[in-house]
């Protein structure tokens, strides 16, 4: 095991707290995993596995696929969406390819023609905007606009064009923390501490602005030049919204 450097000793109390998680939490976690393993369907927005009887997503609150108003995602739907997005953003952003898809939105690599730079354009799935409404996506845009921190992925632009809701972020050529761990396995103690500190600083900053991320995970942490960028505030909650924290 790699020796811990002197500065990292300051984090010893945090490590002790982490490893002393009560067994109850582990039990609940294992039960949840067992439930999700046998789940027959998934949320149309965030892809969280759902038990058969669920009327709404346990994670983000979106109505379940049993709602006849929620159209299924198909290859044809995806191709129509790409063509629609390219047409809507023509003259401003030249869409090149899909970078990734979530339940609620698709992220495209595009060329910002005004500033001559690569960007990532997040677009709400048009079929969901039509059936579920755009409130959650617009909330994500509003949250992103409030945050300016070295370890939070910033927003460049946002808008609506021909029925397409979108917002624009820098294109990060690195990988996610999830991809990094899957590829390389265990990271060094020092690197883990550094990335953890950067993520904690980003979340603490968001908290000072009254915003709670609510979906922090390795897949939502981008790595750029060895540093962390917290992304995807899609289900973030502003303190006081609907009486929730």
Point out the catalytic residue in the list 135, 157, 215, 232: 215
The string of DSSP letters for 142-198 reads HHHHH---TTB----EEEEETTEEEEEEEPP-SEEHHHHHHHH-SPPHHHHHHHHHH
The answer to whether 108 and 121 have CB atoms below 8 angstroms apart is yes
Cα–Cα distance for residue pair 214/25, rounded to 1 Å: 18
- Which residue matches tokens 């979530």? 102
- CB 55, CB 64: distance < 8 Å: yes
Q: Which helix (H) or strand (E) holds 120?
A: strand 117-124
Asked about 112 being catalytic, the answer comes back as no
The H or E element containing residue 221 is strand 221-224
Which residues participate in catalysis according to the annotation?
A: 215
């Amino acid at each position: 095991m790699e020796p811990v450097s002197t500065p990292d000793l300051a984090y010893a109390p945090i490590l002790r707290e982490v490893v002393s998680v009560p067994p109850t939490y582990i039990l609940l976690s294992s039960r949840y995993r067992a439930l999700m393993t046998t789940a027959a369907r998934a949320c149309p927005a965030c892809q969280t596995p759902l038990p058969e009887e669920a009327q709404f997503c346990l994670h983000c609150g979106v109505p379940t696929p049993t709602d006849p108003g929620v159209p299924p995602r198909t290859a044809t739907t995806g191709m129509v969406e790409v063509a629609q997005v390219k047409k809507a953003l023509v003259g401003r952003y030249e869409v090149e390819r899909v970078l990734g898809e979530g339940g609620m939105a698709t992220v495209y690599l595009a060329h910002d023609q005004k500033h001559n730079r690569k960007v990532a354009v997040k677009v709400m799935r048009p079929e969901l905007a039509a059936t579920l409404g755009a409130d959650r996506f617009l909330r994500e845009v509003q949250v992103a606009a409030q945050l300016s921190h070295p370890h939070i992925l910033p927003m460049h632009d946002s808008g609506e064009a021909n029925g397409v809701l979108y917002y624009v972020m820098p294109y990060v050529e690195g990988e996610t923390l999830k991809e990094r761990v899957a590829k390389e396995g265990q990271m060094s103690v020092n690197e883990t501490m550094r990335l953890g500190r950067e993520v904690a600083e980003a979340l603490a900053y968001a908290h000072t602005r009254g915003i709670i991320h609510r979906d922090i995970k390795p897949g939502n942490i981008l790595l750029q030049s060895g540093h962390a960028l917290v992304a995807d505030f899609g289900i973030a909650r502003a303190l006081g919204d609907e009486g929730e924290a």
